Amino acid sequence: MLGFLFTAIIVLSLAAFYVGRSAGNRFVAENGPATHSLAGYHGAFVAIWVGVPALVLVLLWLLLQGSVIDNLLLASLPPALTDGVAPGRMSLLLSEIKNTAVGVTFGEPSPELSAAADTWARWNVIAGWAMFVVALAVMLLAGFFAYTRLNYRFRARTNVERFLSGFMIFCSLIAIVTTLGIIVSLVAESLQFFSMVPPAEFFFGLNWEPQISIREDQIAGSGAFGAVPVFLGTLVIASIAMIVATPVGIFTAIYLVEYSGRRVRNVIKPILEILAGVPTVVYGFFAVLTVAPAIREAGSLLGFATSPNSALAAGGVMGIMIIPFISSLADDALRAVPQSMRDGSLAMGATRAETVKNVLLPAALPGIAGGLLLAASRAIGETMIVVMAAGLIASMNINPLDSVTTVTVQIVTLLIGDTAFDNPKTLAAFALGLVLFVVTLCLNVVALTIVRKYREQYE
Amino acid sequence: MSTTLSARGATDMSGTSAPSTTQAPAHQTVRVPMVDANLPRLKAKDVSVFYGDKQALYDVSIDVPEKAVTSFIGPSGCGKSTFLRCINRMNDTIESCRVLGDITLDDQNLYDSSLDVVELRARIGMVFQKPNPFPKSIFENVAYGPKIHGLARSKTDLEEIVESSLKKAGLFNEVKDRLHSPGTGLSGGQQQRLCIARAIAVGPEVILMDEPCSALDPIATAIIEELIDELRENYTIVIVTHSMQQAARVSQKTAFFHLGKLIEEGPTEGIFTNPRDKKTQDYITGRIG
pLDDT of residue A365: 86
Closest Cα in chain A, distance from residue B265 (Å):
26
pLDDT digits (tens, 9 = 90+) for A283-335: 999 999 999 999 999 988 988 888 888 899 999 999 999 999 999 989 988 99
Where helices occur in chain B by DSSP H, the ranges are: 2-14, 80-87, 117-123, 138-148, 155-168, 172-175, 188-201, 218-231, 244-250, 268-273, 278-284
A350–B144: do the CB atoms touch at under 8 Å?
A: yes
**CB-CB neighbors (< 8 A) of A340 in chain B:** 128, 130, 132
Closest Cα in chain B, distance from residue A294 (Å):
42
pLDDT of residue B24: 43
A349–B136: do the CB atoms touch at under 8 Å?
A: no
Closest Cβ opposite residue B132 in set A262, A344, A350: A344
**CB-CB neighbors (< 8 A) of B135 in chain A:** 341, 362-363, 457
pLDDT digits (tens, 9 = 90+) for A104-140: 777 777 777 788 888 888 888 899 899 999 999 999 9
- Range 204-263 of A in CB contact (< 8 A) with B: 261-262
Domain ranges of chain B: 26-128+205-284
Report d(CA A172, CA B259) in Å as an integer.
Answer: 52
B interface with A, Cβ–Cβ below 8 Å: 88, 90, 93, 95, 118-122, 125-126, 128, 130, 132-136, 144-145, 148-149, 195, 198-199, 202
Report d(CA A429, CA B151) in Å as an integer.
Answer: 63
CB atoms within 10 A of CB A146: 22
A347–B148: do the CB atoms touch at under 8 Å?
A: no
- pLDDT tens track of chain B, all 289 residues? 333 333 333 334 443 444 444 444 456 888 888 777 778 889 999 999 999 899 999 999 999 999 999 999 999 888 899 999 999 999 888 888 999 999 999 888 999 888 899 889 999 999 999 999 998 899 999 999 999 999 888 999 999 999 999 998 989 999 999 999 998 889 999 999 999 999 999 999 999 999 999 888 898 899 999 999 999 999 999 999 988 889 999 999 999 999 999 999 999 998 999 888 888 998 988 877 5
pLDDT of residue B154: 92
Q: Which residues pair with A27 in a beta bridge?
A: none
What 3-state class would DSSP assign to B81?
helix
pLDDT digits (tens, 9 = 90+) for A209-247: 876 545 555 544 457 888 899 999 999 999 999 999 999
- For residues B87 and B263, the answer to whether their CB atoms sit within 8 Å is no
CB atoms within 10 A of CB A153: 10
DSSP H or E stretch at residue B208: strand B206-210
Domains of chain A as residue ranges with CATH: 2-154 (no CATH), 219-456 (1.10.3720.10)
pLDDT of residue B289: 59
pLDDT of residue A97: 82
Q: Which of A22-36, A51-65, A91-105, A165-179 has the lowest mean pLDDT?
A: A91-105
What class is the B26-128+205-284 domain? alpha beta
| Average pLDDT of chain A, as a whole number | 87
A347 interface with B at CB cutoff 8 Å: yes
Closest Cβ opposite residue B132 in set A343, A351, A358: A343
Among chain B residues, the shortest Cα distance to A363 is held by B135
Contacts of B10 (CB under 8 A, 6+ apart): none
B136–A340: do the CB atoms touch at under 8 Å?
A: no
Between these two residues, A347 and B20, which has the higher pLDDT value?
A: A347
CB atoms within 10 A of CB A430: 24
Q: Which of A75-79, A353-357, B189-193 has the lowest mean pLDDT?
A: A75-79
Q: What is the 3-state secondary structure (H, E, C) of chain A?
A: CHHHHHHHHHHHHHHHHHHHHHHHHHHHHHHHHHCCCCHHHHHHHHHHHHHHHHHHHHHHHHHHHHHHHHHHHHHHCCHHHHCCCCHHHHHHHHHHHHHHHCCCCCCCCCHHHHHHHHHHHHHHHHHHHHHHHHHHHHHHHHHHHHHHHCCCCCCHHHHHHHHHHHHHHHHHHHHHHHHHHHHHHHHHHHHHHHHHCCHHHHHHCCCEEHHHHHCHHHHHHCCEECCHHHHHHHHHHHHHHHHHHHHHHHHHHHHHHHHCCHHHHHHHHHHHHHHHHCCHHHHHHHHHHHHHHHHHHHHHHHCCCCCCCCHHHHHHHHHHHHHHHHHHHHHHHHHHCCHHHHHHHHHCCCCHHHHHHHHHHHHHHHHHHHHHHHHHHHHHHCCHHHHHHCCCCCCCCCCCCCCCCCHHHHHHHHHCCCCCCCCHHHHHHHHHHHHHHHHHHHHHHHHHHHHHHHHHCCC
Closest Cβ opposite residue B121 in set A348, A358, A362: A348
